[in-house]
Chain A
């Protein structure tokens, strides 16, 4: 029973095998892709492994404290080189192996030509609350 974060990247991850930008897919291919993602989430809800998931807008802003009495500094939209998170899903599974299996399935979402995208997903374990036994 451990929670994992599945991160989907706009940018920053290695290129997908079937690497065609989404705006060049047919509308049917886009629908099939979205359906796959929804089905995936619904299936995990059914197995009791789904915790949460959201998509994120590409626009984001870096914000920094700028000293007493001054408004926070913002550096505007992310610079071109930065990693960009497209969305995330949190799962709660029995093992690391199961987490990898699910990430693999999510990465197989269909893209251009109805073929799996084979995109790279990032899989990160949550730092848990400490267990009772610590010594």
Chain B
């Protein structure tokens, strides 16, 4: 049973049903039914044309489900008129699905859930597991999302930036349960790059690949964090890095810079350095300047302060930090790091402890607590 094949066929099958006139929500249900049926039947009786098989079964399910409607007659006539399912152009339909699933009328969590289900072909149970919520909750989230977009016309181009934001949200969720959301986000973004020619789509794909390439080195077996400078670079995935660098370079050459390309450029500079000491921090600061210009995000300026601290020394980093609001997430952690590099270990220890209290996740809290403990232990000796 090839689950990857099933998932990759999902958006085009769904697109065909919608194009034939099925309501999005009903079509989506029918496609899910067909996928379940495929899992049951295919191992013993694999179809010659998997997509054609799915379209046929899904369309029948859709008709069954709507048979009681007043539109029954019309829909049955429609299926008689329909040519036998076969290869169909898929690219446009799939692209429209991306836009629909990331429609601005949806909340971020609904958009993410709908994208994973309709474009990604995941089951509600898999999505619920990945987000650690009950299956019933995720089911409701998906059906509400479907209702929200069911009146939206399917033929309008949407906002690429919204789609990219949704995909990046999926990527950043990491992984839990039996679905690796980072890998799923990369798969969907790859699919999107095949459907749409846009340098920011390429920028996001490159960014994901470059981050993903370092995943194995980022944590110890016990789950604790390994900072970038201490990572074992031989554990980075050089193939993914090479691919990511190539994609971001090609995107940058088109001279339509966006925030994902700029972030990918920074990630590429990190992965390019054979050792942490050889990192080109001066160029990284320049990219952060570009990013700040593009996004005006305080988080970017916080990251920039770290880069300035590496390029021009901790005092310069602290000066850049002084211009920022100290209530920013991770502000204390950055301040602690810069003070430590500046030799003020007592202040650094105090700030690490403060940062640990504000940490948004367990691994980060434990890491920062260890940093504070390390400096405090040194002070006692």
A: which residues have CB within 8 A of B?
Answer: 1, 3, 45-52, 92-94, 125, 127-135
Contacts and interface: CB of A to CB of B under 8 A. Distances in A.
B211 interface: yes
B330 to A, nearest CB: 10
B301 interface: no
Given A132-B171, A133-B211, A134-B225, A94 B361 contact: no
A3 B228 CA distance: 28
A130 B364 CA distance: 7
Contacts of A51: 133-134, 137
25 contacts: A1-B108, A1-B112, A1-B169, A1-B173, A45-B137, A45-B140, A46-B144, A48-B113, A48-B138, A48-B142, A49-B137, A50-B137, A51-B133, A52-B134, A92-B133, A93-B109, A127-B359, A127-B360, A127-B361, A128-B361, A130-B361, A130-B363, A132-B212, A133-B211, A135-B228
B140 A130 contact: no
Contacts of A129: 174, 176, 361-363
Interface residues of B, number: 40
A128 B175 CA distance: 12
B232 interface: no
B131 interface: yes
B304 interface: no
Contacts of A50: 134, 137
Interface string B135-152: 011111110100000000
A90 to B, nearest CB: 9
A132 B136 contact: no
Contacts of A125: 360
B137 A92 contact: yes
B361 A132 contact: no
Given A47-B144, A49-B137, A51-B133, A134 B218 contact: yes
B362 A48 contact: no
B182 interface: yes
Nearest to B208: A132
Interface string B338-359: 0000000000000000000001
B222 to A, nearest CB: 13
A135 B227 contact: yes
B108 A130 contact: no
Interface in B206-244: 211-212, 215, 218-219, 225, 227-228
A45 B361 CA distance: 26
Given A127-B359, A130-B363, A131-B361, A1 B182 contact: no
B359 A94 contact: no
A120 B312 CA distance: 49
A131 B175 CA distance: 8
Contacts of B211: 132-133
